[in-house]
Amino acid sequence: VTDGQDVVDKIATTKTGQQDKPVDDVIMKTVTIDGGE
């Protein structure tokens, strides 16, 4: 993660129910994947 660590942290602390599925939906409206090396 190079930007948006706060979003990752928020997702990580989301309440989960059965089978570790989030109780409320988590929706990412924009995702950018860079090629790396």
Say what percent of the chain tops pLDDT 70: 100
- The two tokens of residue 3 are 């930007």
> According to the model, what pLDDT value does residue 35 have?
83
Q: What is the pLDDT of residue 26?
A: 93
Cα separation, 1 vs 15, whole angstroms = 22
Token output for 35? 């090629």
Q: Which helix (H) or strand (E) holds 5?
A: helix 5-12
Domain that holds residue 30: 1-37
pLDDT at position 34, please? 86
pLDDT at position 36 is 72
Number of domains in the chain: 1
Tokens of 27: 């929706």
Gyration radius of the chain's alpha carbons: 12
Report pTM. Answer: 0.64
